[in-house]
A and B are shown apart, each in its own frame.
Chain A
């Protein structure tokens, strides 16, 4: 990713090898800082681009072809089942959606891996969440992630462990939802999250993977450190209250709470399937005049698909703003950062003070469905009030 790209190449230079171990296995993507918000960052990106060019990196997703690195890695088939991939941004856990071990590392580790194609790992204990039941309308993978956060807190039960999601409700979930679930395992404190590859994975990768892959799954008699059962049919649309990710509530408890900024995007919830739900809710409606709605697709590919599907037109017609793909205000650096007194309802992944800009802003987290419906109402609102006919099942990939 761009934010630490230059630093990673600098650490690499200190190792004393002239070339990266494989030019097709080092992937660079512009995400946190595009288009650059300041002259300082623009300069840093220019220095990084020169290094990417110097090392003849084959896959470079720069502005115009950009996307959040985790989305880029998965949607372009750079991550395959049964493999290990690392990224310098924390949400590299997303790769678990295709049955890979995805892990975030710092620049030192990234530099070592670029030089020798190896890295040290601590073998984690694994924890299983077996998820059954039918997904209710308007309940998304994000709600399950937040529900699990509310079950577990940061009390050490998940810290540094692998979370494996299994069960009929996971089998029914499309790749977008699986990416959301694995993405947020880092925010649960886990080392990584993983979902075994199946027919959904195979269909997703059929047009994307350029290498062969073979399914690798946990043994039938695998032993887990802990096992938890979740019945998804009992989960409501769920929010994290400002400041703490484990301060969880269901939407009906906080319905009517005013807010003034709505944000939909990020590596957690900026995919085509998310935008399909948003467009279905906004279609023919108007965003409340006291709310700024900002939508940022997770990648250029998602953006183009959403344009072709008409979702972007629907969002703009409803009075929502759409920006070119980036991490946007989720990283608190640019594109709609929060100011003093802002109350933000975000489909992103973190809500600690200052995450999206000012320390004097409040950040609520929820699914894109809750953000979109609440943006129409001007207060936090329960999308289950909508007709079930407007709900889009999260099992199948969104069609363009």
Chain B
């Protein structure tokens, strides 16, 4: 069973964060590898992150965003592997762009819909996120918010090590027909 309570420091986006800025175009066809993709992740989001290993060096464990996080219509999975490789355990936002919402589930990274969360967190705050109940505690400010809990299917995929491993397991066990 994956960890259901996550703790750590948050980075809060000030504006609209696009997939294009999380992973810049020059890396779109590079190999999917969390450590490698993490080196330049978020490079287009803020000038301070536009250096090798810059975002990961801060030790953030959560990203907090507004509406349509990771929007702009790119399906590249480097967005997710890069964020995960940088040590991010979950992303909380008002809403998520669909392509990266799917990719996040397929890689086992919780994308948690939490309306208004950006107004309740400042960069550097310590958060405690309860995946099963959706409770988000801001330990620094002593506040709490409620997010949509993560469905069991999403946890099953994460526990299997991602969608490829999850489906490979069902294929190997002859249980594909049970998926519905």
Instruction: Give me the interface of A with B, judged by CB distance under 8 Å.
Output: 3-4, 7, 11, 14-17, 44, 88-91, 104-109, 111-112, 115-116, 118, 120, 154-156, 159-160, 186-187, 189, 191, 332, 350, 352, 354-355
Residues of A near B107 (CB, < 8 A) are: 108
Q: Is the CB of A189 within 8 A of B171?
A: no
Residues of A near B25 (CB, < 8 A) are: 332, 354
Residues of B near A104 (CB, < 8 A) are: 73, 75, 98-99
How many CB-defined contacts (below 8 Å) exist between A and B? 99
- By beta carbon, the residue of chain B nearest A154 is B68
A-B contact pairs, 28 of them (CB 8 A): A15-B164, A16-B171, A17-B171, A90-B74, A104-B98, A104-B99, A106-B75, A106-B76, A106-B77, A106-B99, A106-B102, A106-B106, A108-B107, A112-B163, A112-B167, A116-B179, A118-B179, A120-B153, A154-B68, A159-B96, A159-B97, A160-B96, A187-B73, A332-B25, A350-B72, A350-B73, A352-B20, A354-B20
- By beta carbon, the residue of chain A nearest B105 is A120
Query: Which residues 143-164 in B have Cβ within 8 Å of A in the complex?
Result: 153, 162-164
Enumerate the 7 nearest inter-chain pairs by beta-carbon distance, A residue then B residue, closest first. Answer: A90-B73, A159-B95, A106-B75, A154-B68, A108-B106, A106-B103, A156-B67
Which residue from A3, A16, A106, A156 sits with its C-beta under 8 Å from B29?
A3
Which residue from A3, A17, A115, A352 sits with its C-beta under 8 Å from B18?
A352
* Minimal beta-carbon separation of B27 from chain A (angstroms): 13
Residues of A near B28 (CB, < 8 A) are: 3
Q: Is the CB of B68 within 8 A of A15?
A: no
CA distance A16 to B176 in the complex (A): 13
B168 close to chain A: CB less than 8 A? yes
Q: Is the CB of B171 within 8 A of A90?
A: no
CA distance A332 to B74 in the complex (A): 13
* Minimal beta-carbon separation of B57 from chain A (angstroms): 24
Residues of A near B48 (CB, < 8 A) are: none
Instruction: Give me the interface of B with A, judged by CB distance under 8 Å.
Output: 16, 18, 20, 25, 28-29, 32, 67-68, 71-77, 94-99, 101-103, 105-107, 153, 162-164, 167-168, 171-172, 176, 179
* Minimal beta-carbon separation of B154 from chain A (angstroms): 10
CA distance A154 to B98 in the complex (A): 13
Q: Is the CB of B163 within 8 A of A109?
A: yes
CA distance A306 to B28 in the complex (A): 34
CA distance A89 to B73 in the complex (A): 8
CA distance A155 to B67 in the complex (A): 6
CA distance A332 to B73 in the complex (A): 14
Q: Is the CB of B95 within 8 A of A191?
A: no
Residues of A near B172 (CB, < 8 A) are: 16
- By beta carbon, the residue of chain B nearest A245 is B72
Which residue from A90, A112, A154 sits with its C-beta under 8 Å from B75?
A90
Residues of A near B32 (CB, < 8 A) are: 7
* Minimal beta-carbon separation of A138 from chain B (angstroms): 28
* Minimal beta-carbon separation of B158 from chain A (angstroms): 14
Q: Is the CB of A154 within 8 A of B67?
A: yes
* Minimal beta-carbon separation of A362 from chain B (angstroms): 16
CA distance A106 to B75 in the complex (A): 5
* Minimal beta-carbon separation of B50 from chain A (angstroms): 12
* Minimal beta-carbon separation of B33 from chain A (angstroms): 13
CA distance A160 to B28 in the complex (A): 24
Residues of B near A352 (CB, < 8 A) are: 18, 20, 72
* Minimal beta-carbon separation of B178 from chain A (angstroms): 11
- By beta carbon, the residue of chain B nearest A108 is B106
Which residue from A90, A332, A350, A354 sits with its C-beta under 8 Å from B99?
A90
Q: Is the CB of A11 within 8 A of B164?
A: yes
Q: Is the CB of A88 within 8 A of B95?
A: no
CA distance A107 to B102 in the complex (A): 11
Q: Is the CB of B106 within 8 A of A109?
A: yes
Q: Is the CB of A16 within 8 A of B67?
A: no
- By beta carbon, the residue of chain B nearest A359 is B44
Residues of A near B68 (CB, < 8 A) are: 154, 156, 159, 189
Residues of B near A88 (CB, < 8 A) are: 75
Residues of A near B94 (CB, < 8 A) are: 156
